[in-house]
Amino acid sequence: MLSLSFSTFRDRWRLFAGAIVAVALGVALVQSSLLVMVSTDRAPVPPGASGRVREQIREGYAGAATLLGMTVMLSVFLTVFIVGSTFAFTVAQRRRDLALLRLVGGGRGQLVLLLLAEALLLGLAGTALGAAAGVPATWAQARLLIALGFLPDGFAPVLWDSGAAVASACVGIAVSLAGVLAASRRAAKVRPLDALRDTGASARVMTPMRWLSGVSGLALTVLMVALAQSAELLGAMMLALGISITGGVALSALSPLVVPLAGRALGVALRRSTLGEIAQANLRDGVRRSASTAAPLIVLVALLVGLAGTLGSLALMSGEEQRRLVRGDLVVESPGAAAERIAAVPGVAAASPEVTVPISVTARHHEEGRSWRRTHYSGIVAVDPPAYRRAHKVRLLAGSFDRLRGRTIALGPGMAAEGVRVGSTVTARVGGHAVRLKVVAAFVPTLENYSETFLVPRDVVPAPVRAGGEAQTVVRVAPGTEPAQVRERVRAAGLGRARTVAQWADARTAEQQRGNLGILAVLMGMAGGYAVVAVINAVVIAGTERRAEFAAARVAGMSRPQVVRAALVESWAVTAIGLVLGCAVAGGALSGMLAASLRGAGRPLVAVPWTLLAAVTVGAFAVTGATSVWTTFSATRPRPVTLLTTRE
Amino acid sequence: MTQLSGPPPARSAAFPIAAELRDVSRVHGSGSAMVRALDGVSLAFPAGSWTAVMGPSGSGKSTLLHCAAGLERVTGGQVFLAGQEITGAPDAVLTRLRRKKIGFVFQSFNLMGSLTAEQNVALPLKLAGVRVPRGDVRAVLEAVGLGDRLRHRPRELSGGQQQRVAIARAMVTRPAVLFADEPTGALDSASARTVLSLLRRMVDEEGQAIAMVTHDPAAAARADTVVFLSDGRLVDRLDRPTAAQVAERLARLEAAPC
């Protein structure tokens, strides 16, 4: 059986090439992610680093671990998907061969074994390639995580670990075997009689499983879109993520139904030329082929545009929120020492200096019956409470902002969900002295990721310590004074950089956006890589499958360039359909964000990632076009007569 | 040429009737779309005898062959193969029978494109879990005149050669009955003659039972008996036929109003 698998494998390597690349990619990613995790474990925080640096490095490691975990899960899932669809394809294509095996005495179990053995070979080949690619992948991944700020500069990953190599090899083989399971079940259902039928009723494309997952996924998606119209912002965001995933999966499962339907709509444009007409007929006829090209595109566009749009919209809304929370004309960023002098600048009516100070706060956290102490270093801000109150819209969950004076502390927006209780006492270490502070107020959380964690009255922090911090000062200008004038004076006095509240909020938004997009870029870039493999795979398999069909078209009078063009038109039409359907899902996802922003802010705050969408569109057309032309060219290389007369 | 496959026949003694249909009917579809592909057909394929099945297109020839080989379930009647009733046999039993008792030869050769001639011939034995002595496989291929093509893939062989590989594959398990569906349909006349002589020799020298569906009167004339089907019924029978007789009967059947 293994020798039969081996000769099939050797004979049909082109069919398996995409799946091998997918497995190799998966193995390389799993291996590199494990190695980076092992390295963060082995690279301890440098001795002598300050508490704040330690906290930053630890948080970076935690962020990196989360990202790596998601990477591993996503790549395993996508690899199973690609291996599965490759084998589904080969089983459909090799129906006659499989039936023939049954005819000469092959049992059902033997057919399953045959496919498992092929998957094993594929897994081994992919694993070998992946293990080799894992070394550069680890290096590249570490560089990327450093660039994203998750890992400290100069972080050097371990490039080889036998444990990680064994684990990723196991993943590679397990993933290949898992991918083949569904296909091998289908292969076992091939009847020996199918070998005798020339056309052979090919397997139904819409299997019951496909119907079930497609229809239930679609129902769930529609329900979520409906719910999102009246959901709160965070609810709308979670729903948008859900819609992107279930909608993409549902439409790709239903693609054998949806793609020909969309093809009919596109047909009006295509039918004007003969080649277009042929392409459109093929689109309707080759359902499995069109669907398997469109499916990965639908999922990719839905996820990419849906997620990027959701996160972008969230950033827009958090910028809007910041703008509304600040009551002032200008925001000045300066060293802590300079902040106190801003109030004295002519034309300034009121100034609220807020200094991020290098102190630590140790607090007791309570959550679900557990309680622990933790020391915080970042986001601790010293404020002048009365000035702060005038310069901000203070929204509290609990306590009273008026009591923020003397030895007290308030929980900032970033600490709202951390389980520190109002009324408890925390310990602050200020310049080497321990100070006990009573928690008197807790702010409502904001949409921002890295907000203030604690606010302390500035008297708690001695002036020299405050002078070493970084300040932002909200300024209100005196009536009759132009904000631009004050801005110029602040600059001239060398006090710091002054911006309007709108500019400042936009900058904060942009920063948020950058962080989000960085993470998104890593995950989606990877998903995009897999989608490219899946699409190329589908186009290549479909092209080689159609040698006889192309030959018949040429005998009927089409020239080779015409055959190539017709195939190109067809695959571009499928690409367009995949992109449009993916955008439809993303649109559903963003509709909830639109509704939430209209309700919350009174104006639409939706970030449609146009650049990304344009890049994906151009990339998709380029990839499917190039692959289609290449496969059609190589499938039409032999003279048509030889293809029409030989069977095997 | 030497004998086809190893020791001389024990087959004719073991199963005097290699395959038999008793009052078999096969209905496709239902209601107004109902088609009676076979309608009360009784026919035996004895050992050491070559039976050709003829008839106009759509007369049920192929269905008859499929039912006799257990590839299609019958709607009514009984089917026997190598002394065993297979009418409602489960898949595992049919699989075992296909390994040991049945050989198939088709118009379109149906060889595995990725395997060499030698591997194709050894395949049924390997599937049955039998260790295959290389010498045996080689002997069978030599018997069909392909001793020098062992390592060739099907695409490197001519149609006639491919069909001879298919026959070698069918014979390697020493089946009780060989089912042939238009075995010469895709061959030129010289290759067709070679293949038919090969089949004739298997019947005469080894007592092989052959059931063959064909359109070609010349091919049918090499058989011991020709039966004619029309609209799913057996309508005529010729023993020791000549090509001219067969052609004349067939022409009459095809001309008859349905």
| pLDDT for B44 | 93
| pLDDT for A438 | 95
Identity of the amino acid at A461 = V
Instruction: Name every chain B residue with its beta carbon within 8 A of the beta carbon of A100.
Output: 110, 112
- The CA angle A275-A280-A285, to the nearest 5 degrees, is 125
Distances (CA, A) of A380 to A187, A434, A466, A535: 63, 15, 11, 50
A347-370 tens-digit pLDDT: 889 999 999 998 999 999 998 888
Q: Is residue A205 scored above 90 in pLDDT?
A: no
Burial of A192 (0-12, 13-18, 19+ CB in 10 A): buried
- Across the interface, of B66, B95, B99, the residue whose CB is closest to A193 is B66
Q: Which of residues 163-202 of B touch A (CB under 8 A)?
A: 169, 173, 181
User: Does the CB of B110 have a partner CB in chain A at under 8 Å?
Assistant: yes
Q: Do B127 and A101 touch (CB under 8 A)?
A: yes
Q: How many C-beta atoms surround the C-beta of residue B122 within 10 A?
A: 22
Report how far Cα A404 is from the mean position of its chain's Cα atoms. 42
- The ipTM (two decimal places) reads 0.78
CA atoms within 13 A on the CB side of B221: 14
In the numeric block, the tokens 């936009």 are attached to A506
DSSP label at residue B23: E
CA A225, CA A213: separation in Å to the nearest integer? Answer: 18
Instruction: Name every chain A residue with its beta carbon within 8 A of the beta carbon of B123.
Output: 4, 101, 104
Q: Is residue A199 scored above 80 in pLDDT?
A: no
Q: Which residue of A has its CA nearest to B102?
A: A104
* A402 pLDDT tier (thresholds 50, 70, 90): very high
Q: Which residue of A has its CA nearest to B112?
A: A97
Angstroms from B121 CA to nearest CA on chain A = 10
Angstroms from A95 CA to nearest CA on chain B = 12
HEC-encoded secondary structure of A118-185? HHHHHHHHHHHHHHHHHHHHHHHHHHHHHHCCCCCCCCCCCCCCHHHHHHHHHHHHHHHHHHHHHHHH
| pLDDT for B11 | 45
Q: Is residue A647 scored above 50 in pLDDT?
A: no
Q: Nearest Cα to B255, choosing from B181, B247, B65?
A: B247
User: Does the CB of B36 have a partner CB in chain A at under 8 Å?
Assistant: no
Q: Is residue A424 scored above 90 in pLDDT?
A: yes
Looking at residues A15-22, what average pLDDT do you find? 83
Looking at residues B7-28, what average pLDDT do you find? 74
Percent pLDDT > 70 in chain A is 95
Q: What is the mean pLDDT of chain A?
A: 85
Q: Is residue A645 scored above 60 in pLDDT?
A: no
User: Does the CB of B101 have a partner CB in chain A at under 8 Å?
Assistant: no
Looking at residues A89-115, what average pLDDT do you find? 83
Take residue A216 and report the two structure tokens written for it: 């239930």
Q: Do B106 and A196 touch (CB under 8 A)?
A: yes
| pLDDT for A189 | 82
| pLDDT for A114 | 86
Q: Which residue of B has its CA nearest to A114?
A: B127
- Mutate which of A7, A95, A104, A647 to test chain B, going by most B C-beta atoms within 10 A? A104
Q: Which residue of A has its CA nearest to B175?
A: A104
A548-584 tens-digit pLDDT: 778 877 877 788 888 898 889 888 988 999 999 999 9
Q: Which residues neighbour B109 within 8 Å (Cβ) at sequence distance 6 or greater?
A: A647, A648, B154, B159, B162, B163, B165, B166, B186
DSSP label at residue A434: E
* A233 pLDDT tier (thresholds 50, 70, 90): confident
| pLDDT for A642 | 63
- Which of A384 and A96 is assigned the larger pLDDT? A384
Q: Which residues of A touch B (CB under 8 A)?
A: 1, 3-4, 7-8, 10-12, 96-97, 100-108, 110, 191-193, 195-196, 198, 646-648
- Across the interface, of A12, A105, A198, the residue whose CB is closest to B124 is A105
User: Does the CB of B127 have a partner CB in chain A at under 8 Å?
Assistant: yes
| pLDDT for A378 | 85
Q: Which residue of B has its CA nearest to A189?
A: B91
Q: Is residue A238 scored above 80 in pLDDT?
A: yes
Q: Is residue A644 scored above 60 in pLDDT?
A: no
Angstroms from A554 CA to nearest CA on chain B = 22
Count how many pairs of residues, chain A against chain B, have C-beta atoms within 8 Å: 76
A141-197 tens-digit pLDDT: 888 888 887 888 878 888 888 888 898 899 899 988 888 888 888 888 888 887 666
Q: Is residue B244 scored above 80 in pLDDT?
A: yes
Domain edges within chain A: 1-203, 326-502
